[in-house]
Amino acid sequence: MLHLGFMSCGSSESVYLISINWVNSQYPKMRFEEERIVLEQQTAVQYPQQPHGGKLVNQVLTGKELEEAKAKAEQLPKIMVDLEAVITIEMIATGVLSPHTGFMNEADYKSVLQTGRLKNGLIWPVPLSFAPIGERNREVIKTLSIGDEVALIDESKKPVAIMSVEDIFAYDKEMRASHLFGTTDRSHPGVDAIYRRMGDVALGGPIKLLSRAHWGPFEKLRMEPKDTWKLFYEEKKFRSVAGFITGANPLHRGHEYIHKNALEEIDGLFIQPLVELAKREYTRHEFRMLAYRSVLETYYPKERAILSPLRVTYIFAGPREAVLHAIIMKNFGCTHALIGRDHAGVGDFYDKYASHSIFDQYTPKELGIDVRLFHEVSYCLRCDAPVTSQSCPHDNRYRINISGTGIREMLRYGILPPKEIVRPESARIAMQGVQPKGVDENGQAVSPVGKTIKAIFPYYLEYTRLGGPKRERPLKPEELTVRDLEAAVLDVRMNADRIYRDISDEYNAIGDTNRNLQPDWIMSAREAAVAQQQMVISDLEEKVQQAPEVASDEFMYQNKKEAQQELDVARKILEDIPSPLRKEQIAYRTWNALPYRRYRGDDSN
């Protein structure tokens, strides 16, 4: 019934914030109007961020005004809305979609579809439209005229909001699909939602919120823009905050890479997992939030990393949705937006970096938020770190990819993904919330197991093991079974740590001049190998002296030439044996041009 977009509300010279316990003496230019604090433009510029369009909307009624509106709603025509609509109405009313105060009129609706901007030029990527479906709703719409008010009720018939009708216009589903999604293919979930959930007539106009939905287990973590502006800039005194909106997957190391890069230069991190209307095969939002909480408690700075659910409807608009998320972060007070590869992607409908390139259309000034774009993150075992193609030169032999879909599939197979790509604190909880759980009667999960292996363990198709030699014949994904998935996981669990550790051990063995750090048994084994090989050489030298120039039987006896070749090989093997490198053997490495006291600054005689 609802899809996000924008309605023009003109320019504003004030920034509206809801707050409590702010001191007049500290902000002398504030004036109080009931529960609303109006910050004049001169005061607002003190903040490092501004809401989109210059106004943080508050359409939430309280007190006497609320009671009067509830009574009025009982007498008004009524349109029933579903849960998705209730969520969107609340987003409008609480300022998440500022500067909107309601649903868009036809002029703005078409402008947004065609240009990604309102008629006044303000960036807004996705239409915010209201086209009720259902026979009873259609009959109500027929009775409405511009200037009327209508009550929006939920499925329990409880009034949610009152809408003032400012426009009524025909809703062209095909036009919306082609402009917003770039396709009219019903297999696209956004296109399907248009035809399945949207009516033929749209209403435009502002709304007033009468009732907020309870967020269940998320209520205690819930924050609205009025809360975050106060938290960031009044309580924590941040000068910069990076926002991160994430969808269907539990927290993985790719997310963590982005977060911690941001924390190196930005004061605060605001993480908002989406917690509503996920696809059926996603990880249930309750468990995603719990997975985030488990990891943040252990691995993130508690005073700088803030977690709050974002109850928002999925639009499946690919790159346009990435722009919308950046604006939402801005409205929560964030100065920076963190956008990963394929942010808000929808299968293969969009290029994996379309969510990056779309920002080329806007100047930083008009967007009003610093967008940080991150390439695909994987884990390189040779680098022993999360990396991107921008920073790592190594190939698939040493790489474990981070695939959200692949991670969910592994959870279905009852396997915790490698710790290098998902921390076990996250994976263990996420496994309890993945949908569907387990496998079907044929032992298969949602996707073919070969697709999962290719997505996470790309080396397995071409190489015999991590860092190992190439297979004689590359494997095909369709040939692979669960046994292959198990083999790849065991290989990683047993050997992922070894690759860089073995490299480090080798350099330590060569480089440590303090030989107390090196295992004596290894040095002793090398000395024994040297002594044994010298013994071999000594015997072969005698053999060469005794060997005839021509053997009487080439199958039974060796001639001098063959014996000499054995000796040459034995001498070469002796050279190949690593040196024991005892302290005495490398004493030459420690030398100084001056007396040691001179390096401390003592120049006395």
Instruction: Give tens-digit pLDDT for 507-522.
Output: 999 999 999 999 999 9
What share of the chain has pLDDT > 90, as a percent?
70
pLDDT confidence of 344, banded at 50, 70, 90?
low
Residue 453 confidence (pLDDT):
97
Closest CA to 265 of 217, 207, 335: 335
- Please indicate whether residue 312 or residue 137 has the higher confidence score (pLDDT): 137
- What tokens appear for 326 in the block? 């950046």
DSSP state of 134: S
pLDDT confidence of 279, banded at 50, 70, 90?
low
CA distance readout (Å), 366 to 50, 54, 351: 12, 12, 25
Has residue 143 got a pLDDT over 60?
A: yes
CATH 3.40.50.620 fits 218-374, yes or no: yes
Domain boundaries, the chain: 2-209, 218-374, 379-506, 524-589
Q: Model confidence over 59-88: pLDDT tens digits?
A: 999 999 999 999 999 999 999 998 888 999
pLDDT confidence of 296, banded at 50, 70, 90?
very high
- What tokens appear for 36 in the block? 């609303």
Residue 33 confidence (pLDDT):
35
Residue 34 confidence (pLDDT):
33
Has residue 552 got a pLDDT over 90?
A: no
Residue range 200-229: mean pLDDT, rounded:
92
Residue 19 confidence (pLDDT):
28
Residue range 469-494: mean pLDDT, rounded:
96
Find out whether 97 and 124 touch, Cβ atoms under 8 Å. no
Has residue 290 got a pLDDT over 50?
A: yes
Has residue 277 got a pLDDT over 70?
A: no
Find out whether 155 and 291 touch, Cβ atoms under 8 Å. no
Q: Model confidence over 360-388: pLDDT tens digits?
A: 999 989 999 999 999 999 999 999 999 99
d(CA 228, CA 232): 6
For 36-69, letters b (16+ CB in 10 Å) and e give: ebebeeeebeebebbbbbbbbbbbbbeeeeeeeb
Element (H, E) at 289: helix 285-299
Q: What is the pTM of this model?
A: 0.85
Has residue 30 got a pLDDT over 80?
A: no
Has residue 491 got a pLDDT over 80?
A: yes
Instruction: Identify the weakest region by mean pLDDT among 197-206, 330-339, 461-470.
Output: 197-206
Residue 92 confidence (pLDDT):
96
Has residue 531 got a pLDDT over 70?
A: yes
Residue 190 confidence (pLDDT):
80
Residue 14 confidence (pLDDT):
32
Residue 298 confidence (pLDDT):
96
pLDDT confidence of 122, banded at 50, 70, 90?
very high
Residue 278 confidence (pLDDT):
55
Has residue 26 got a pLDDT over 50?
A: no
Q: Model confidence over 409-454: pLDDT tens digits?
A: 999 999 999 999 999 999 999 999 988 888 888 888 889 999 999 9
Has residue 564 got a pLDDT over 90?
A: yes
Residue 24 confidence (pLDDT):
31
Q: Is 435 helix (H, G, I), strand (E, B) or coil?
A: coil
Instruction: Identify the weakest region by mean pLDDT among 181-190, 208-217, 241-250, 441-450.
Output: 181-190
Q: Model confidence over 442-462: pLDDT tens digits?
A: 888 889 999 999 999 999 999
Residue range 262-286: mean pLDDT, rounded:
85
Query: What contacts 242, CB < 8 A, 6 or more positions away?
Result: 259, 262, 263, 266, 268, 269, 270, 334, 335, 336, 337, 338, 372
- Please indicate whether residue 58 or residue 344 has the higher confidence score (pLDDT): 58
Fold of 2-209: Sulfate adenylyltransferase (3.10.400)
- Please indicate whether residue 106 or residue 19 has the higher confidence score (pLDDT): 106
65 phi/psi in degrees, rounded to 5: -60, -40
Q: Is 161 helix (H, G, I), strand (E, B) or coil?
A: strand
Has residue 2 got a pLDDT over 50?
A: no
Residue 354 confidence (pLDDT):
85
Has residue 23 got a pLDDT over 60?
A: no
- What tokens appear for 390 in the block? 């921008």
Residue 76 confidence (pLDDT):
97
Mean pLDDT, the chain, rounded, equals 88
